[in-house]
Every structure is written in C-alpha cells, then in structure tokens.
C-alpha cells in the first residue's frame, strides 16, 4: 500500500485506437493505492511519445470499475474522461488541438490539421450524445490543392439504441472559413439538420435539410447500403438553387474549367431526383428566369422558364418558355417549346420561333445521347425575313430582298455543328446554296468553318449597290469551293465568279471599273487609260470572270482564260457593246489581307463620293 | 557498272521514293525556334518591357 | 548507301518548298492570331502567379499549378481555371502552327521546341520543371 508518495505504474502493453504501445509507464508525483483504488496525481506518461507533454490525473476503482482520468496538455487543452460504475463513459474536452489527431492517426499527418475542438461526448449502453465546437481549424495537403482555412462550426449528434438499431439525430452548422477541394471552393454558411437510423450496414435517412449559399434549400431522405456504398431508395429535392452562384462555383470548375470565365449564368432551378430499388428513377427540373450568355460570341439566351421531367420507364412531357434569344442584335420573339423526354432522348415538338418579320420553323428536333456524348439533330426552315431588317440587325450593309432558308438536316454536338444537306438562301434575285457546311468548336477560341458554296443568278445591280461598289448591271454565278475559315476569317478557298449565261443588259459604271482596277493594285491600274475613261459614265461588257484560289494568305488570281503563268496577264472584264472596255489584271499573286484592305478602301471611297 | 548493281540501285531508288513520300524526316528546328521566340515575346510582352527598362535609366 | 539515296531524294522533293520552310514557319494565320491575343490577355493575370511560384512551366510545353499555397484559398479555383484555359490555348497553338505549315504531324515537335523556349526565356524567380523536377530559375 502506497499513500501519497511518488510512484510508477507500468503497463507491459497498451492497446488503444488500433495502435499498440509497449512498456508504458505512468510516473505519478503522488500515488495512492488503497483497497482496489488507484489514485495517481500529476503524472507524466512514458513510452507513449504522443502523450509526452501531457499531465495526467487518474482515479480508478478496480472494484466498481468506475473512475476518472484528466489529461492536461499544453495551451490550455484539457480532457476529462469519466467512467461510471454501470459502464457509462463521459468525455469532456476543451481546446483540444486537432493536431493531436495526427499523433494518434498517422494518416492525418500529411494533411497538417490545425484547430481546437471543445465539447462533450457521452455513451451509456443505450444512448450516445456528442456536442462539439470546432474553432480556427484547417488542413492542407502539400500542394495546397485540398485545403481549408479558418474553419469554425458546431455539431450536435444524439443517438438512441432501439433493438439492433441506433436512431440518430444531427444538427451541424459550418459558420466560418472556406474549403478548397480541387477544383471547387466552398465557403461557409452551410447548415445541416438530419435524422435517421443505422441498422447493421443499412443507413436510413428519415429527413434531412441542407442550407448553403447558392444551392438553396436541399432536402433529402433515403436508404443506403454502406457495404456496397449504394443508394437503395432516395429522394433529393433542391429548391431555388441560384444558378448565378452555383454554376460558376460548382458546375463550371468541374465540367469546363477552361471556360469558367466565359459563361454567365443566372436564374433559379428546382430539382427533384428519385432513386427506386437502387436505380435512378426520375428527375424533375424546374427552371425559373434562367438565362445564360457566352462572352465573346455575343449570344444570349433567356430568360427561360419551364419544366423538364425525366422518368426511367415512361416518356414525360416537358415544356420550355423562351422569353429571349439574342444573337448580335437579332432578337427572337418569345416562343414555347413542348417536348417529350424519354430514356436518353429529348424530342421537341414542331415550333415557330418568330424573328424580325419572319420566323424560324423547327420542323423536328431531337437531342439524344449517343456514343460520342449528347447530340442534337433537327430540321428547320425559315419563313421569309426581309434582308433589310436582317442586315440591320447583324450590322451588315443594308441589303434588299428576302431571306428564306431551308435546313433539312442539322447535327449539333458540343464540338461540332454540321449541315446534312443544303442551306439555301434566296438572295439578290438568285440563290446561294451551301453544302457540307460544318462548324468545328463553335464555342472554342478558334471556331473552324468548312463549306462548299454555290450561288447562281445574283443580280449585280443589287449586289454592287449594297456594297457601294459603283454600279454593274447583269448577273453572276459564284462557286466557292472548299471554303475553310478559322476564327471566322477565310484561310482557304477556291473561288470563281462568272457572268451568268443568258441574254440581259450588261453595263458597268466608270466607278466600278475604277474599283476593279484598284483591286489589281497599281500595276493593273496602269493598263487603263484614265483620260479615256473620263468621257463615259458606263460601258458595255461581254463577260466578267475572276477567280481566286486562297492558300497560305496568298490569293492566286485568274481571269476568264483560266489558270496561267504567274507573269501572264488575265482578263477580268471582256468588253462588248459600245463603248467596249477590257479590264486586264497583271498581278496573279495577291496578298489576301492586302486585297481585303483594297476592297475596304474602294468601298469606303465610294461611300463618300467626291463631288467635283 | 554491272547490271546487278544497277538493279539494286534502282530498287533502292524506288524504295527511297516510296519512303520519301510517306515519311516526314524533315522538321525545321531552327525555324520553329525562331517562330517560338517571336510568339513568346508577343505573349509575354518581353520586347516592349525590355525597351522601357533600357529607356528608364537614360533619362 | 541507302542513306545517301534517301538524302538525295529528300532534297529534290522538298526543293520547291524548301525556300519557305527553311526561312520561316508560317505563324500569321487568323487562328494563330486569335490564340496569341487570348494568351497575351491572360498573361496579365498569370504573370504574378509565375512570380509567386503558384504556377510553373512544365517541360512538356504546358503550365501547371506548382504551389497553390501561394494563392489565397478562395482564389485557388480561379488559379485552376487559368491554368486549364492557358493549356487549352497552348495545345491549340502548337496544333495550329503545325497545320498552318501543312504538317499536322509536327505538332509534337513544335510543342517540344516551345517547351524549351518558354523555359529558356522565363525570367529568374519563376518555377520551371527540369529533368530533376521543379526548380526555381
């Protein structure tokens, strides 16, 4: 029997928290051993490096198996464990450093956990409660790509044993700090209220409610199989998620990190998701005043509202009210899309999208999941739109006539939009037809366009008037083969313009001749007798023909005679009638940018005519 | 030259031709480096920066 | 013997385009200009991140987050977005230069050339990836 003198308790082996220490000793400043009662005051622990700086007070009765252990650590941290005679354990802790966690749980070391935990936990056979408060907490991996700072929060958990199961109730609030978990940053302001039951490997969530900034109000319930980590049955519903917050914060960093800065999204979404028998059973999406815009492409969609359902077994009817669709200055009037949604497929009913004085008619449109991801396919045509209104909306030179188009087959994937068939536009009394039209990466930095374009019977009078290029009467045909554009600028094509065969008036104004000769550069202008030109306001011509094969920034020109040696002259306008005039080009290799600059200069000079 | 070696030479020639058309042996490393330097200078705005740094002490 | 034949034929076949190929690579296409201007604009945001060591230049011609700890927690998502966007542009740039010169298969060689030149031209203090891992220039 010892009474109040210093002493040592030795344990050959100590097992706790899955770890084992050998030759553990308690060096007590005052040790009492009395009738099965151990009292050890102001003790230090040897053999457990993790507890090297702790001061312990132990009072334990081997008879009643009740006792109390108090541990005092540096920085005011304190832990008191009380074991009652009937087996109830009560744990009180204050300012316990989270870094202690790294001492007993080696896996935590690399996370550099910090923070202080205060609270109380108690367990007696049928009931367990935990209430804890975390302050100034954080963690970080070496690279900083998974980290948290200045965290604070409360959690209260209580559980009651009912037969084989535990009924539990939890309330948690995360009040300060932020977590970055690559690639998503989550700020504080999250609260969770949940109750449920744990029975063997099955966890049941009776109800839960999560509130967080941007994601609105989330409620969930369900049953989960923890052994297979699977959802058995569940229902999750999200009310009024704010897309302006949630999309840039949670969706874009995961889905399209490179584009995060380019999308602007707004509006609210309601979402209901249901799982039945381990399978996703149904999804209902409600949109309210949703809008999005892609910067740099000048197109905006929204506000749009509607209801999009999806059910595993049966097709469901959805609808989308689009109150705004804008491209450049082109505004579509509000329209409604009805659709049926089934497994992996959305089919849009025919619809009419009014725009300007005409409309785009959606003949058929389906969005389906294919091997290469989501793909849209559709057929469209247009009720005629006046070119005057359209060109004004698109900031183009004002054109007369009407535009009507037929797009029988359009295929759109996130990377590519392609026309199956022809796009036909009635224009300038003739028509323009594009085949093999394809746009790759329409939303990328370098959208690429490819097409073969054919135009027939374009009225030169309207055309030259539209582009202020002097006045030419007659008609032309155009073939623009293998057109390739990058970033909406041509990089390659094989173009040929020819007078339309037939009998019609063919006159060309003096000004137009000047512009054409100016295009050939100074060397071509030299071929024209300026003094002679001054006597006539217009001339007759027999045929116009010019070709340009663009590659590597150089336009290889040709005239009515077709290809020829670089040094050989070529005829662009062959004279006919009185007075007759030939326009001859001498420079067959022209820098494309220079040619465009000359065309612009010619148009500009015509737009502001010099009055003599 | 013996006929045999002529045949061999012609065979080698035709092999080489076939090889030349399909295989790309030539990468203009020096030109690529020059192009890279030009683009890097532009993207990092190295040239104007260097100019202002040189110009600053002379005032 | 075979090597000589090969060399001879390479010269004769390429002689037509050699004049341009040896002098300069074509880098003035609309696509390359668009990529360059996008990268120049982004550089204003990236420059301080290079200097602080948050991002570094990799040996494969791309960019990587080197030390996210150099950036406040809330900004780290943006750091990722910037790096992803820059790498997208760089890959597109290498591809575009190769295609603009009629040799799409050169993209890898162009990437390697750029990788070396990015690192060579990087100012002191930036982090670059060498054969022995990350190092500060």
Q: What is the chain C residue with the closest CA to B20?
A: C10
Is A416 within the bounds of a domain? yes
> Whole domain around residue A552: which residue ranges?
446-607
The first and second tokens of residue A19, run together, are 């770890």
Which positions in chain C touch B41 (Cβ < 8 Å)?
121
Is C15's Cβ below 8 Å from some Cβ in B? no
Query: Nearest CB to A184: which of C35, C77, C92?
Result: C77
Q: Are residues A450 and A410 in the same domain?
A: no
Is the pLDDT score of A286 beyond 80?
Answer: yes
Q: Are residues A505 and A601 in the same domain?
A: yes
Chain A touches chain B, with at least 3 Cβ pairs below 8 Å, answer: no
Distances (CA, A) of A131 to A115, A122, A171, A211, A266: 16, 9, 9, 20, 39
Q: Minimum mean pLDDT among A243-257, A426-440, A506-520, C99-113: which range?
A: A506-520
CB contact under 8 A, B44 and C43: yes
Q: Which of A420, A444, A468 is the C-terminal boundary of a domain?
A: A444
- Dihedral, CA atoms, A82, A83, A86, A90, nearest 10 degrees? 50
CA–CA distance, C122 with C115 (Å, rounded to integer): 11
Q: How many domains does chain B divide into?
A: 1
Which positions in chain C touch B46 (Cβ < 8 Å)?
121
CA–CA distance, A556 with A547 (Å, rounded to integer): 8
- pLDDT tens digits, A112-150: 999 999 999 999 889 999 999 999 999 999 888 899 999
Is C24's Cβ below 8 Å from some Cβ in B? yes
Q: Are residues A457 and A439 in the same domain?
A: no
CA–CA distance, A259 with C84 (Å, rounded to integer): 9
How is A234-259 classified by DSSP, letter by letter? EEEEEEEEEHHHHIIIIIHHHH-GGG
CA–CA distance, A196 with A392 (Å, rounded to integer): 63
pLDDT of the residue at A610: 37
Q: How many domains does chain A divide into?
A: 5
CA–CA distance, A387 with A406 (Å, rounded to integer): 16
CA–CA distance, A428 with A423 (Å, rounded to integer): 16
- pLDDT tens digits, A12-23: 887 766 678 888
Is C33's Cβ below 8 Å from some Cβ in B? no
CA–CA distance, A485 with C102 (Å, rounded to integer): 16
- pLDDT tens digits, A199-223: 999 999 999 999 998 888 999 999 9
A116: left (phi over 0), alpha (psi -120 to 50) or beta: beta
Q: Which of residues 47-76 of C touch B (CB under 8 A)?
A: 47
Is A452 within the bounds of a domain? yes
The model's pTM: 0.76
Side-chain-side CA neighbours of residue A209 (13 Å)? 4
> Whole domain around residue B42: which residue ranges?
3-58
Q: Are residues A374 and A329 in the same domain?
A: no
Q: Minimum mean pLDDT among A120-124, A327-331, A552-556, A600-604: which range?
A: A600-604
**In whole numbers, what is the pLDDT of chain A averaged over residues?**
87
Is A320 within the bounds of a domain? yes
Q: Are residues A388 and A306 in the same domain?
A: no
Q: Which of A179, A200, A221 is the C-terminal boundary of a domain?
A: A200
Is A189's Cβ below 8 Å from some Cβ in C? no
Confidence of residue A297 (pLDDT cuts 50, 70, 90): low
Report whether A554 contacts A590 (CB < 8 A).
Answer: yes
Q: Are residues A365 and A438 in the same domain?
A: yes
Q: How many residues does chain B have?
A: 59
Q: Which of residues 33-52 of B touch C (CB under 8 A)?
A: 33-46
Query: Nearest CB to B35: which of C8, C27, C40?
Result: C27
CB contact under 8 A, B36 and C24: no
Which positions in chain C touch B25 (Cβ < 8 Å)?
6, 10
| Count of pairs with CB atoms under 8 A, one residue in B, one in C | 84
Q: Which of A444, A477, A501 is the C-terminal boundary of a domain?
A: A444
| Mean pLDDT, range B47-56, rounded to an integer | 46
Confidence of residue A466 (pLDDT cuts 50, 70, 90): confident
Q: Are residues A256 and A276 in the same domain?
A: yes
ipTM above 0.90, yes or no: no
CB contact under 8 A, C77 and A249: yes
Range A37-53 burial, b when 16+ CB lie within 10 A, else e:
ebbbbebebeebeebee
Report whether A157 contacts A170 (CB < 8 A).
Answer: yes
CA–CA distance, A373 with A365 (Å, rounded to integer): 17
Sketch the domain layout of chain C as residue ranges.
27-136
CB contact under 8 A, B36 and C5: no
């Amino acid at each position: 029997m010892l009474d109040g003198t210093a002493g040592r308790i030795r344990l050959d082996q100590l097992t706790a928290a899955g770890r084992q220490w050998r030759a553990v000793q308690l060096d007590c400043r005052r040790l009492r051993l009395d009738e099965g009662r151990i009292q050890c005051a102001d003790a230090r622990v040897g053999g457990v490096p993790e507890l090297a700086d702790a001061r312990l007070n132990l009072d334990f009765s081997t008879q009643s198996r009740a006792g109390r252990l108090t541990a005092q650590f540096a920085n005011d941290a304190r832990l008191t464990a009380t074991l009652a005679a009937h087996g109830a354990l009560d744990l009180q802790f204050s300012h316990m450093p989270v870094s202690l966690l790294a001492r007993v749980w080696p896996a935590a070391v690399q996370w550099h956990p910090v923070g202080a935990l205060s609270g109380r936990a108690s367990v007696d056979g049928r009931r367990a409660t935990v209430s804890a408060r975390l302050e100034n907490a954080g963690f970080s991996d070496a690279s900083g790509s998974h980290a948290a700072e200045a965290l604070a929060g409360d959690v209260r958990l209580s559980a009651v044993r009912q037969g084989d199961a535990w009924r539990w109730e939890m309330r948690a609030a995360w009040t300060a700090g932020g977590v970055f978990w690559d690639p998503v940053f989550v700020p504080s302001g999250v609260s969770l209220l949940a109750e449920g039951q744990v029975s063997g490997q099955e966890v049941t969530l009776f109800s839960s409610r999560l509130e967080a900034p941007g994601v609105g109000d989330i409620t969930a319930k369900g049953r989960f199989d923890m052994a297979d980590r699977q959802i058995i049955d569940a229902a999750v519903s999200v009310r009024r998620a704010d897309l302006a917050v949630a999309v840039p914060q949670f969706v874009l960093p995961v889905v399209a990190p490179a584009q995060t800065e380019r999308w602007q999204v707004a509006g609210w979404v309601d979402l209901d998701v249901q799982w039945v028998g381990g399978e996703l059973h149904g999804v209902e999406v409600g949109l309210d005043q949703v809008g999005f815009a892609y910067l740099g492409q000048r197109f905006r969609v929204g506000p749009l509202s509607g209801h999009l359902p999806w059910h595993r077994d049966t097709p469901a009817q959805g609808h989308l009210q689009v109150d705004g669709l804008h491209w450049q200055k082109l505004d579509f009037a509000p329209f409604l899309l009805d659709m049926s949604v089934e497994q992996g497929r959305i089919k849009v009913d025919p619809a009419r999208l009014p725009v300007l004085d005409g409309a785009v008619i959606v003949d058929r449109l389906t969005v389906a999941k294919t091997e290469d991801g989501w793909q849209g396919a559709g057929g469209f045509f247009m009720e005629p739109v006046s070119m005057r209104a359209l060109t004004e909306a698109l900031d183009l030179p004002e054109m007369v006539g009407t535009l009507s188009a037929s797009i029988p087959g359009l295929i759109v994937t996130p990377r590519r939009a392609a026309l199956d068939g022809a796009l036909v536009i009635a224009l300038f009394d003739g028509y323009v037809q594009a085949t093999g039209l394809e746009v790759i990466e329409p939303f990328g930095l370098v959208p690429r366009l490819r097409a073969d374009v054919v135009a027939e019977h374009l009225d030169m009078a309207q055309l030259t008037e539209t582009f202020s290029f002097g006045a030419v009467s007659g008609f032309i045909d155009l073939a623009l083969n293998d057109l390739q554009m990058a970033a909406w600028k041509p990089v390659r094509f094989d173009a040929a313009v020819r007078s339309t065969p037939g009998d019609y008036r063919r006159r060309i104004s003096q000004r137009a001749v000047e512009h054409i000769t100016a295009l050939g550069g100074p060397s071509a202008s030299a071929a024209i007798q300026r003094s002679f030109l001054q006597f006539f306001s217009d001339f007759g011509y027999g045929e116009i023909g010019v070709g340009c094969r663009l590659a590597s920034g150089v336009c290889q020109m040709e005239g009515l005679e077709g290809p020829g040696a670089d040094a050989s002259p070529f005829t662009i306008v062959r004279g006919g009638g009185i007075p007759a005039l030939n326009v001859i080009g001498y420079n067959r290799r022209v820098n494309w940018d220079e040619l465009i600059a000359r065309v612009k200069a010619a148009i500009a000079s015509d737009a502001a005519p010099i009055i003599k | 030259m013996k006929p045999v070696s002529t045949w061999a030479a012609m065979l080698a020639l035709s092999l080489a031709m076939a090889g030349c058309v399909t295989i790309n042996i030539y990468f203009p490393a020096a030109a690529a480096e020059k192009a890279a330097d030009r683009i890097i200078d532009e993207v990092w705005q190295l040239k104007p920066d260097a100019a202002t740094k040189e110009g600053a002490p002379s005032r | 013997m075979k090597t000589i034949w090969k060399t001879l034929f390479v010269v004769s076949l390429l002689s037509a385009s050699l004049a341009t190929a040896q002098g300069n690579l074509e880098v003035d296409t609309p696509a390359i200009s668009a990529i360059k201007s996008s990268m120049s604009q982004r550089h204003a945001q990236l420059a301080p991140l290079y200097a602080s060591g948050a991002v570094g230049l990799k040996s494969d011609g791309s960019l990587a987050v080197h030390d996210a700890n150099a950036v406040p927690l809330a900004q780290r998502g943006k750091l990722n977005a910037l790096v992803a966007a820059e790498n997208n542009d760089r890959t597109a740039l290498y591809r575009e230069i190769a295609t603009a010169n009629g040799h799409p298969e050169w993209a890898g060689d162009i990437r390697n050339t750029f990788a070396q030149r990015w690192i060579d031209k990087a100012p002191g203090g930036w982090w670059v990836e060498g054969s022995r891992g990350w190092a500060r220039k």
